[in-house]
A and B are shown apart, each in its own frame.
Chain A
């Protein structure tokens, strides 16, 4: 049932068996499962049923290194961040779960096989077809991928969640209304986690609304499912007993924060016929056949084979291709310069580039009005010359203790400490992207499909340069926040155990991508859903 916390009496105490904090993808998926049981469940959602600026402002934070943009990347209302999710799904690979000698702090305490049974269930809530993301899917399509050397490069698929299922808040609203034993309380913010027994047992959650209403929730078990930013923040500001917050005896909460660096790095320069034929398999959406796939659309990516990752000692990374305009075209140059200027940076060789744009102003005559009318990306797509294929990197970030979320001195509207982010990438992250690009370049050349040309910024990109300015200003993390309460065998190097229980607390669990111990290149939603279902099964067993 959907209820508004503001409608309850002041000082209300809500009792339940299980309390879930957050009604995003994980919270809603778990709510559906618990609705099939006799357990009394309450879900606390910070927002309402629709976007409210005042609630969204609770996410405001300060990025102190590379961009995280919590204020716009997360959404704080029923459905959570799925409310602007693009719906791209693909699983982590078996290697992502393993300890890799060349990746510090890699490895989960569980393996791919532990999660595999739950991926299919995650497929269902996302409205997807069979759990198949590998090269076997090509047999269902008329196109064939370029014949990459399998020892080096592989293709993989992303399935796209159809619109009817993608926005969890809308798709599941009616259903949630009818859950008999699961109550969703809107406008209910957790302002403190109360503990007893020397900070080892949660006794209740203090809850408040922005209208000033206060209350409390008690349950036998609690699950934080508020996203990788809010999960850590709630644990950090619940510091009445311990200054470091709860579950943070080894200073791991908020650390190992990861995203997937997304950035255009290169273009494949080829002839139009090749772009239309041999390379077209890598571009655009593919309609999967109805049988077993519900006509789901899939996209294709290219990744390094596991053998190659081991041989080269690099991360698991992917590249996605799309049609576009060349990097040195006036259109791309204009966009790139404006992005730098927007960031307060003067582009390199500014006057030279300005002169080039002035000289080629005629070529921008079609692009500029189109960009104003339809947006920059659609305009770039429409002015494509048909033979330039842009390559976007979507990279794994290695687990990095220095990449972290912290509390700030500023207070939000609820009087809670705000957020500071320090998203940091290291040399291995940067080296891996460069190596991946040159591998693709070599394979494109070997197959006679054209030549790969790095974007100007990427050509001078230095893996040893740690400064944010080394990256192109358009580099972003895909809004894929992961790892701030990572899973580990021991509390020394993580926050939750293999069952997603906070190491030091006997009744507090965490759902969502904050438990990821490593990130692969895969969009996190499918995996976080699988892990949420696994957690539900575990809690059912305990009962």
Chain B
């Protein structure tokens, strides 16, 4: 019997799953792939510095959308930079969102997020 609570959990799982799949399409600006930008190291450092976000669900809630194009992701980062919502990790001055994506990538072991 499908009660209301089960329905909500199921729908939530579907949504999360869909977002997880969509996240595999997220790409950083192409040039970032050509530079020494260790996503795992950044992700690991972010989690160490912001322990209250060291959780997949929390990180998901912090990231506005998982269905961004590369351009959309860049816009998100630029907005962060514009508002000086930045973090400095391993010396890199990064938009908060890109650091969170690195953290999510590290935490989930997903290598599809480039």
Contacts and interface: CB of A to CB of B under 8 A. Distances in A.
Q: Do A and B come from one complex?
A: yes
B66 interface: no
A446 B78 CA distance: 4
A445 B94 CA distance: 8
Interface in A257-296: 266, 269-271, 274
B91 A450 contact: no
A326 B91 CA distance: 13
B31 interface: yes
Nearest to B29: A448
A252 B78 CA distance: 49
A454 B35 contact: no
A271 B31 contact: yes
Interface stretch (B17-25, B46-54, B79-87, B101-109): B79-87
Contact of A446 (B29, B31, B82): B82
Count chain A CB atoms within 10 A of each CB in B81, B84, B90, B93 and give the residue with the most: B93
Interface in B24-44: 29, 31-32, 34-37
B31 A445 contact: no
A249 B77 CA distance: 58
Given A269-B36, A271-B31, A445 B91 contact: no
A412 interface: no
A451 B88 contact: no
Contacts of A39: none
Given A445-B78, A446-B78, A459-B90, A451 B36 contact: no
A520 interface: no
Interface in A428-459: 437-439, 441-448, 450-456, 458-459
A442 B36 contact: no
Given A438-B86, A445-B78, A270 B31 contact: yes
Given A269-B36, A451-B94, A443 B81 contact: yes
A270 B93 CA distance: 13
A445 B88 contact: no
A439 B81 CA distance: 9
B74 interface: yes
A459 B95 CA distance: 17
A446 B29 CA distance: 13
A58 to B, nearest CB: 44
A328 B36 contact: yes
B29 A442 contact: no
Contacts of B35: 269-271, 450-451
Nearest to B34: A271
Nearest to A437: B93
B78 A441 contact: no
A450 B28 CA distance: 11
Nearest to A438: B93
Nearest to A273: B31
Contacts of B86: 438, 441-442, 445
Contact of A451 (B78, B80, B84, B93): B93
B34 A454 contact: no
B36 A326 contact: yes
Nearest to B92: A453
Interface string A170-181: 000000000000
The 5 closest A-B pairs by CB, nearest first: A441-B93, A446-B81, A445-B81, A454-B91, A271-B31
Given A445-B77, A451-B32, 11 more contacts: A266-B91, A328-B36, A438-B84, A438-B86, A439-B84, A441-B93, A445-B80, A445-B86, A445-B95, A448-B74, A448-B78
Interface of B: 29, 31-32, 34-37, 74, 77-78, 80-82, 84, 86, 88, 90-95
